[in-house]
Amino acid sequence: MTPGPQNAITDIHGLKVGHAQDNALKSGVTVLTAETPFTASVSVQGGAPGTRETELLAPDKSVAQVDALVLAGGSAYGLDACSGVVAGLRAQGRGFRVGNAIIPLVPGAIIFDLLSGGNKDWTDTPYPTLGRAAFEAATDHTDIGTIGAGTGAMTAMMKGGLGTASLTLGNGITVGALVAANPMGSVTTPGDRHFWAAPFEVDGEFGGLGPDPTTGLGRSLDSRKLTAMLERANTTIAIVATDATLDKAQCQRVAIAAHDGIARACVPAHSPGDGDLVFSVSISAKPLTSPQDLTLIGHAAAVCLSRAIARGVFAATPAPDDLLPTWSQLNAQT
């Protein structure tokens, strides 16, 4: 398995990612879409999720494909970002057709960043506008760090961020991940230097420091974040995708497997206060050729997700009124 040319979910041909953020608000939106509808499912493992239209992604539901997926800040307010994406799709004449009606299908999920600093004293929610802007900004590449849905993200000990990673398997299938990392848990071991995801790093993509050589890790759950804000201000939301041809049930199985990537990169993960969620996408370009292909795709999705979480935090940049430092600030003198 080797990273694609961009080491990004947009290495999967046909997928586009767009971001919009308001730096004064310290929040934003990230949208994944494509020129045509795509198959998708979801797995929710956190205890406090915030979602829109995820139930229709269950394998037993009749909707086969969707038009876009949204990752947003803003907690419940951020779910309105989906409405902005729906408006953008409708303006392009895209969506599920029932007679003369057009119904864009846009599931979404949110992180809690309402206490991450920034001016949250709005009159009209800004998220529909941010959602529309992110949709219209979608391209076949993506930046990482303090951008889009990762703008206001924080981990236990430092700023979070928006990350992505990809792998191309030996059979030619590509797998990618896109994540807004805002967990209750830490993404680095005690000392703020080594990433929990270090065993899965490729080519020094988040510092090349390797695993922490210390033993007995994981027994302390110190958190600057809990000191700065409420315990429920958490969640890691992600999209994993592949160009393999998968149905909704197979997509759901990949989403379940990908949650291992969160658990490997965030300690603890899937807590009662986290809304950890993974969407899984197939653009159905390459047929499966072996019974083992689905296992490999799920494994690659988990590895990509671990790497994407670390990359997003590693790339986070400082901004005025931040409540927590970035990884680079904490390690500037080491």
pLDDT digits (tens, 9 = 90+) for 220-233: 666 666 655 555 45
At 231-258, the pLDDT tens digits run 545 788 999 999 999 999 999 999 999 9
pTM score, whole prediction: 0.93
Look at 333 and 195; give whichever has higher pLDDT. Answer: 195
Helices (H), 163-292: 224-228, 248-265
Amino acid at 133: A
Q: How far is CA 194 from the centre of its chain?
A: 21
DSSP H/E element including 153? none
59-63, 129-133, 304-308, 310-314: which range is least confident on average? 59-63
The pLDDT of residue 326: 95
Rounded Cα gap, residues 101 and 103, in angstroms: 6
Tokens 């110190």 locate to 222
State the amino acid at position 332 in one-letter form: A
Residue type (1 letter), 76: A
Distance CA 305, CA 309 (A): 6
In this structure, the strands spanning 66-72 and 108-110 are: parallel
**Confidence at residue 157, expressed as pLDDT on a 0 to 100 scale:** 86
Integer CA distances (angstroms), 263 to 117, 164, 179, 212, in order: 27, 16, 14, 17
CB atoms within 10 A of CB 97: 10
Is residue 285 within 8 Å of 172, Cβ to Cβ? Answer: no
DSSP lists the bridge partners of residue 154 as 159
pLDDT tens string 144-195: 999 999 999 999 889 999 999 999 999 999 999 999 999 988 899 888 899 9
**β-bridge partners, 39:** 282
283 and 175 Cβ atoms separated by less than 8 Å: no
Residue with tokens 């229709």: 56
The answer to whether 108 and 72 are in contact (CB under 8 A) is: yes
pLDDT at position 307 is 97
Whether the link from the prior residue into 37 is cis, omega within 30° of 0, is: no
Structure confidence at residue 269 (pLDDT): 86
Distances (CA, A) of 187 to 54, 72, 156, 194: 27, 20, 8, 9
Given this model, what pLDDT does residue 333 score? 63
Look at residue 222 in the predicted model and tell me its pLDDT: 62
Distance, CA of 29 to CA of 81 (rounded, Å): 7
**CA dist., res. 313 & res. 8, Å (int):** 15
